[in-house]
Amino acid sequence: MANAVVSVQGGPVALHTLLGQAPARIPTGGKIRPGIMVLTRKAAEHPEAKAIYRQGVDEGRSFEEIERRLAQAIPQLKSPLVPRNVPWFTVRASDFANPETAREILDAYGEDRGQGHRLYRFPVVFPADHWQTVMPHELAAWGTHEKRFWSQYSPDGLVRHCMRHAPVPVDDTGRRAIRIFGGRKTVLREENGGLCDPESCPEYQARQCNLTGRFLFFIPGIRSISALELPTTSFYAMSAAIQRFQAMAMMRGGRISGFLGRDRATFFLTKVLRDVPHIDEQGR
């Protein structure tokens, strides 16, 4: 099947191209966050850190930018911010390619429940029928600036591999990097035969590798040619979403994309506080 020519849904033939071989991805133009970041107890003891944090929040800056400013001003503080769950979603202008999108979302769907004008619940339309496409997720271990290891299934879906970036190749002199076409290559991680096995993975056991995912969607009434995203690390939230996706797909002939009926019904995203079971270090 080398150099095969395919036809898409009975339309004109689609030829293979240099840039058309990668898996289809949905571009995103903004991020709605599931919570907030606050100063650690140690960081909160520094008046300068409190002032930088408050200024960043008041100016609508992203928590990544606030953390960078804290690191520059007080380098002895390591990881000065920690996540905190709140009943609302965080919508900041700095998290969008078009900052006006944040205001449009809050104007359209924000509410005041006694803690300011916040986003508690909003409608979403998914752009694809495969839940794996609109809720991509993986196990991933991050370094300071980039992803070190991540999970990836084999093409047949039977084996979960542990992947990493391949070393940058050099020329025969060993001093000059070779130009790479199409971005950095990926290879199987050498340890554990390249298999992703959390129970035997030192990074996972040390909580350096964790489940991470994101929902990709459009919001009715919000003008954007790119999807928006909502990141999550909640196993329970993603598992519950899969059940909803599968139930809706069974009722709609496999479809979850677009509006759900002629009345323009949609899915809604909201936050619910629930107790979930945990296994402690003693296995209880």
| Interval 61-77: pLDDT, tens | 888 889 999 988 998 88
If you write DSSP's letter for every residue of 223-243 in order, what string do you get?
--SSEEEEEE--HHHHHHHHH
Using the predicted structure, report yes or no on whether residue 111 has a pLDDT greater than 50: yes
User: 189 near 164, Cβ under 8 Å?
Assistant: yes
In sequence order, what are the residues at sequence separation of 6 or more whose Cβ sits closer than 8 angstroms to the Cβ of residue 119?
Answer: 32, 88, 89, 90, 91, 105, 106, 109, 110, 111
Q: Would you say residue 160 has pLDDT above 80?
A: yes
Give the mean model confidence (pLDDT) for residues 275-283. Answer: 68
Sign of torsion over alpha carbons 252, 231, 151, 226: positive
Does residue 98 have a pLDDT over 90? yes
Q: Give me the pLDDT at residue 261, please.
A: 84
Provide the pLDDT confidence category of residue 174 given band limits of 50, 70 and 90: confident
Is residue 237 pLDDT above 80, yes or no? yes
pLDDT tens, residue by residue, 32-55? 999 888 999 999 989 999 999 999
- Does residue 3 surpass a pLDDT of 60? no
Mean pLDDT estimate for the chain: 88
* 21 pLDDT higher than 80: no
Q: How large a percentage of the chain has pLDDT more than 90?
A: 58
Identify the CA nearest to 190 among candidates 211, 154, 156, 165. 165
pLDDT at 145: 78
Q: pLDDT by residue (tens digit) across 240-249?
A: 999 999 999 9
3-class DSSP assignment, residue 27: coil
Q: What is the DSSP-derived secondary structure letter of residue 192?
A: G
